[in-house]
Amino acid sequence: MLVRRRMRLPWIAATCMAWVALAVLACAAGPALFHISAAATNVADAYAAPSAAHWLGTDALGRDELARLLVGGRITLSVGAVAALVAMVIGTVYGATAGYYGGWLDTLLMRVVDVFLSVPTLFLLLFLAAMFHGNLVTLMIVIGATSWLGPARLVRGEVLTLKERLYVEAARSLGAGDGRIIFRHLVPNAAGTIITTTTFMVASAMLAETALSYLGIGVRAPMPSWGNLLSGAQSDIFAGAYWLILPPGLAILTTVCSFNFIGDWLRERQERALADP
């Protein structure tokens, strides 16, 4: 077909994109606009049920749950984005190197991936997070550094087929070096795979933050994150504050699910474009 058929945006993918955009916007701008500070405590008002003053109620220290949810979203969304970015950069460089050079280097690099894959990711994550506990930046790096294996394999596979294309030969005959071919030609052409995988990575990095916060080695209190708001709410149930469990849980669930749906749609779109160019 000469004219590229326009892909319809299914309503579910559109809704998910809108939701992610809304969540990012609310968490980015919300805390500045919202009239209650996330850090303001008021013990007299502890465990207040949702009301006109506190839309989502208050926690054990009387802090406003909505304000904390907005600030926590900043943390969780940034952990998701930065960790996904770290994973993708490592995975892309690693996978593209293995796929491009091939031979013994490829075998060696992929054996190393096999080694990493033999250790449960959560073992590594727990291990590293317990070692370098306490700092938000290290948390992002640790999550990213334990999730590059999948992306590395995907990018390698993509580069293996792309490197046989004529434009690579053309670039080489014009005198382009290996680095230029990999990063100016191969990686941009693998962008579809990379973007799709990044979307899934954001989702899994957010879940990793939640899991680590539950295990007590994620984002440290008093800094709120969706993960530690949710794990903290587990014990608040016993104090009768059952309303605290829903907002962070639903925030994580809907946002992670949206990223997964968007990723799934992107992948399907890509597969269809390949099958029917």
DSSP assignments along 79-96, one per residue? HHHHHHHHHHHHHHHHHH
- Beta-carbon contacts of 234 under 8 Å, excluding residues fewer than 6 positions away, are 245
**Cβ count within 10 A of residue 28:** 14
> Which residue lies nearer to another protein by CB, 96 or 203?
203
> Which residue lies nearer to another protein by CB, 78 or 260?
260
Distance of CA 110 to the CA centre of its chain: 24
* 92 close to 77: Cβ distance less than 8 angstroms: no
> Which residue lies nearer to another protein by CB, 49 or 250?
250
* 64 beta partners: 58
> Which residue lies nearer to another protein by CB, 31 or 224?
224
- Taking the C-alpha atoms of residue 100 and residue 55, their distance in angstroms, rounded to an integer, is 55
The residues of the shown chain that bind another protein, judged by CB under 8 A, are 12, 111-112, 114-124, 126-128, 130-132, 203, 207, 210-211, 214-217, 227, 230-231, 234, 237, 245, 249, 252-253, 256-257, 259-261, 264
3-class DSSP assignment, residue 58: strand
Angle of helix 136-145 relative to helix 65-101, nearest 10 degrees, comes to: 40
> Which residue lies nearer to another protein by CB, 60 or 207?
207
> Which residue lies nearer to another protein by CB, 46 or 126?
126
Is the C-alpha dihedral spanning 104, 108, 109, 113 positive or negative? Answer: positive
